[in-house]
Amino acid sequence: MDAHGELGEFLRSRRARLRPEDAGLPAYGGRRRVPGLRREELAQLAGVSAGYYTRLEQGQSPNASDAVLDAVARVLRLDEAERVHLYALARPKAARTRRRVARPERVRPGVRLMIDSFGDVPALVMGCFLDILAWNPMGHALLAGHLDHGAPDRPADRPNVARMLFLDPHLRELYGDWPRKARSTVADLRLIADRHPGAPALTALVGELTLRSPEFAKLWAAHAVGDCGSDPRVYHHPVVGTMELLTEFMTLPTDEGQRVAVFNAEPGSPSEAALRLLAGLTAGAAGQ
């Protein structure tokens, strides 16, 4: 689907979640044919004609002004991530980045040394489309001990966070609140799509997951957008049991789209003890 079709889906999904009374309109009696605000109601509240808004929703107004987009965002109560997404869809040509010859992403040696220096703290490096480009031994042991540790070094075999989350049963069992993790990952992919419109690698990933995972297809169609959160997450590790870990994401400013993820436990907590146990088991396995 092109950006114009995506824009229409996004705006319709956001209209559907608002009741007229939420927007300060009278709550008319009777049942509505479709949920949420009607096009003409949104247009009235945004201060544009119904015809203009209809053309915007149909992708026929590529030169919509900042004032119009801001007004629509205000009426729809979009958060900051959703506003960025709206602008990217409404102005696909302006959002398009310079295309480069596709080549495998690489991790700079200094970044690899950094995550290795974390020792008993799990860490990994994600590429711009959520491929795992590198992980330290603890990052591998925490998330994917069932996979080959050297897989990120081989571009054709690299694990992908989104693909693993929806298609690998191990990840489904690992996350204590898998639905929440799934929602945040898809919302993050939406933001990535805004930054890299039309990128073949991302298009292929979304297409594969849409075909193979009904859950992904439903979440993608919902058009949620947002960064991966850093709230505590519960992990049910198959070797050391349940842990609650905080995840911090660090964007690498000189490596387009790459991020480092670091997983920490509260000092003195049972989760920290479980991480220490996993570290001992990982070091023992490496020494065999």
Most confident of 2-11, 82-91, 176-185: 176-185
- Outline where DSSP puts E strands in the chain: 123-126, 132-135, 233-237, 241-251, 259-264
Mean pLDDT on 166-182: 95
Contacts of 218 (CB under 8 A, 6+ apart): none
Q: Has residue 4 got a pLDDT over 70?
A: no
Across all residues in the chain, what is the average pLDDT? 86
Here the tokens at position 125 are: 């490096």
Gyration radius of the chain over CA positions:
22
pLDDT tens digit sequence for 76-124:
888 888 888 888 888 766 544 444 445 788 999 999 999 999 999 999 9
Given a cut of 80, is residue 25 above it in pLDDT? no
Q: Could you count the other beta carbons within 10 Å of the beta carbon of residue 111?
A: 18
Half-sphere exposure of 155 (CA within 13 A, CB side): 9
| Of 287 and 274, the one with more pLDDT | 274
Question: Which string of DSSP letters, residue by residue, matches 184-214?
Answer: HHHHHHHHHHHHSTT-HHHHHHHHHHHHH-H
Residue 41 CA, distance from chain mean position: 31
Contact 248, 261 (CB under 8 A): yes
Q: Report pLDDT for 95.
A: 46
Question: CA 285, CA 145: separation in Å to the nearest integer?
Answer: 11
Burial class (CB within 10 angstroms; exposed 0-12, middle 13-18, buried 19+) of 136: buried
Q: What is the pLDDT of residues 208-217, one digit of tens each?
A: 999 999 999 9
Domains detected in the chain:
3-95 (1.10.260.40), 109-287 (3.30.450.180)
